[in-house]
Amino acid sequence: MYIIGKDERLEKVLGIVVEILKKGKISCNEYLREKDLMQEALSFLGIRGPSCKEETETYHLDQLGFFDDISPSRLRVFSSTEELLYKNWPTPLVLLRSLSNHNLRVWAKLEFFNPFSMSVKDRIGWSMITDYLAKYNNRAVLYEATSTNTGMALTALANIKGLKVKLFLPYTIQKASDIILRIMGAEVQRVQKSLTVEFVGDVDELAKREGGIHLNQFENNSNLKVHLRYTAKELDLQVREASLKLRGIIGGVGTSGHLSALSLYFKSKYGDNVKVYGAQPAPGNVIPGIRRVETGMKWLHYVKIDKVLDVTSSEAIEQAIRIARSEGLFVGLSSGAVMATFEKLKKNGALQEGDYVLIFPDHGFKYIEQFATYLEETKRQDG
């Protein structure tokens, strides 16, 4: 198990975030009384502080630029490849017609539209590097334990910023990852452990010894922050745009960053009318990008997840193939796991009538080896 200590300051800040989202406004009395914590909470939401002249004043979130961050380039023209990432948000939300009926409408948020890793991890790579450079402006080598996607995102953004990256991968993931990451310019080292979190401490110690910087996606609050500030607000606007009757959000449990942010945001604003479900690998199964809750999650402790369901590797692959053959989208294995979780909830009668959003974290191209093995085994079984 990866042990993560309690972050008391973060707990206080997130408590303020919850209250702000519930009320939809900020009173100057509260803002001035706890200004330090308030400013940090506002930074998580990407809004400016009120210009209070009197304690009795109240500001609604729209007055403070709540949705100003979500301003995509209308004609998709960008002045840099970095802008191609954050000025191209929101990522698409699309109705999956083959899975929808009159009672249940199933939507997918396609995180593989992010350009560098073709995954949700571009968001945290950008956030961690941007926040780090803004605070320290240190040009040291970046160290990270990764199962591929975060490594791709960090390497791409490090290239843009003129930084070097040293990555550490578990032996259990696909061989293609080494090739991709080395082509991108990272130094890559395999570790004889099956889960990324099993050697995070080793990477931390090595970075300190060698004068590097370990950003640590598993504990870096820039992870949660980028999903609160962007991913959650994007989805909120998209839900409004499509006039959805949002009943649930389903995502994978990896670092727990995006699922925790979505839960905190939507449950704070809309209460338990919106359920949040997680997908984790069944015991003894490996699904790249997600892991079991008991292996250690930082941000899940501060939010409510209604249920986390087990998914086998085969179920994840089967559902990824199903999406490819029914919707034309070649999604990754964690997306297949999210899809499998939806199907289990549907089969168990846990879903009310309405709209459900599935977070599809990445593209399927990195997992050709797993798909090939599955197809060969299926062929043998079929005779």
The side-by-side arrangement of strands in the sheet containing 142-145 is 187-191, 165-170, 142-145, 213-214
User: What is the DSSP code string of 284-344?
Assistant: T---TT---GGG--SGGGGS--SEEEEE-HHHHHHHHHHHHHHH---B-HHHHHHHHHHHH
Supply the pTM of this predicted model: 0.96
Do 89-118+221-378 and 121-214 agree at the fold level? yes
The domain limits of the chain are 8-64, 89-118+221-378, 121-214
Q: For residue 2, what pLDDT is reported?
A: 57
For the domain made up of 89-118+221-378, give the CATH fold: Rossmann fold (3.40.50)
Phi–psi pair at 124, nearest 5 degrees: -75, -30
pLDDT digits (tens, 9 = 90+) for 229-287: 999 999 999 999 999 999 999 999 999 999 999 999 999 999 999 999 999 999 999 99
Band the pLDDT of 223: cuts 50, 70, 90.
very high
Q: For residue 72, what pLDDT is reported?
A: 87
Q: Does domain 121-214 have CATH number 3.30.1490.20?
A: no
- Quick check: helix, strand or coil at residue 356? strand
Q: For residue 101, what pLDDT is reported?
A: 95
pLDDT digits (tens, 9 = 90+) for 313-331: 999 999 999 999 999 999 9
pLDDT digits (tens, 9 = 90+) for 285-302: 999 999 999 999 999 999
